[in-house]
């Protein structure tokens, strides 16, 4: 949770960094990757969802409720940190923002030989989990996609609304023969 987004249980903002709610911790999703990919197919962007997202955005209270429901659901299932730019479909539905270092493009050099996190040795690296899940679901090539840097202005925003409104276009790019070094900034 970012400093600006963090709040005490009574709604007050933290006075200093030590008051932050929690730091990222590697999380193993609770549902199988194949089920998550199937759910994503049901939630795929279409005209009806685009209209729903527009209606939700026009009503601030509804947007807060919708975002709260998304946060609770995704946090329980995937450890979601509500970055507003969901990378779950490209990472085997293992949230890369649960990496203590918040690495979005693969593991750091400190992953142990048995796949343990360098920062939290009692946990498996989220990228090892992502590889296992993507491979099991037949989506290992998704891990070759380059994730763009996080836009911190989107923290706590609904990634579902952003996705249905088409704002997530270009969140990840593929390396290919025509463009071996894809641009990291949107045009």
- Read off the pLDDT of residues 135-152 as tens digits, 9 standing for 90 and up: 999 999 888 888 888 888
Token pair of 178, please?
């025509």
Length of the chain: 187
Q: Which residues contact 20 (CB under 8 A, 6 or more apart)?
A: 1, 3, 6, 14
In angstroms, the CA 106 to CA 86 distance is 15
pLDDT of residue 71: 95
Contact 166, 66 (CB under 8 A): no
pLDDT of residue 175: 62
Regarding whether 160 and 74 lie in a shared domain, the answer is yes
pLDDT of residue 94: 94
Regarding whether 125 and 102 lie in a shared domain, the answer is yes
- Residue range(s) defining the domain that contains residue 120: 86-149
pTM, whole model, 2 decimals? Answer: 0.77
- CB burial of 103-126 (b: ≥16 within 10 Å; e: otherwise) equals ebebbeeebeeeebbebeeebbbb
In angstroms, the CA 106 to CA 1 distance is 20
Contact 70, 173 (CB under 8 A): no
pLDDT < 70: residue spans in the chain:
1-22, 174-187
Regarding whether 160 and 69 lie in a shared domain, the answer is yes
Regarding whether 65 and 2 lie in a shared domain, the answer is yes
pLDDT of residue 171: 77
> Residue 38 falls within a domain, yes or no?
no
pLDDT of residue 187: 40
Regarding whether 72 and 121 lie in a shared domain, the answer is no
pLDDT of residue 32: 93
pLDDT of residue 177: 62
Regarding whether 144 and 62 lie in a shared domain, the answer is no
Q: Which residue has the tokens 């270092």?
A: 101
Task: Please calculate the CA angle 177-179-184 and round it to the nearest 5 degrees.
Answer: 145
Task: Please calculate the CA angle 151-123-81 and round it to the nearest 5 degrees.
Answer: 25
Regarding whether 90 and 145 lie in a shared domain, the answer is yes
> Residue 121 falls within a domain, yes or no?
yes
């Amino acid at each position: 949770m970012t400093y600006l987004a963090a709040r005490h249980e009574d709604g007050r903002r933290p006075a200093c960094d030590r008051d932050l709610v929690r730091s990222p911790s590697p999380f193993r999703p609770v549902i199988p990757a194949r089920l998550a990919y199937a759910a994503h197919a049901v939630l795929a962007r279409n005209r009806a969802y685009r209209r729903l997202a527009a209606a939700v955005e026009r009503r601030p209270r509804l947007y807060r409720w919708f975002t709260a429901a998304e946060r609770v659901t995704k946090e329980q299932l995937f450890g979601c940190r509500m970055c507003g730019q969901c990378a779950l479909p490209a990472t085997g539905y293992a949230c890369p923002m649960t990496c203590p270092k918040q690495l979005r493009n693969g593991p750091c050099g400190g992953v142990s030989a048995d796949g343990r996190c360098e920062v939290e040795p009692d946990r498996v690296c989220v990228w090892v989990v992502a590889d296992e899940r993507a491979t099991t679901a037949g989506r290992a090539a998704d891990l070759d996609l380059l994730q763009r840097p996080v836009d911190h202005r989107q923290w706590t925003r609904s990634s579902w609304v952003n996705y249905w409104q088409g704002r997530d276009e270009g969140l990840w790019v593929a390396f290919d023969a025509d463009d071996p070094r894809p641009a990291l900034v949107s045009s």
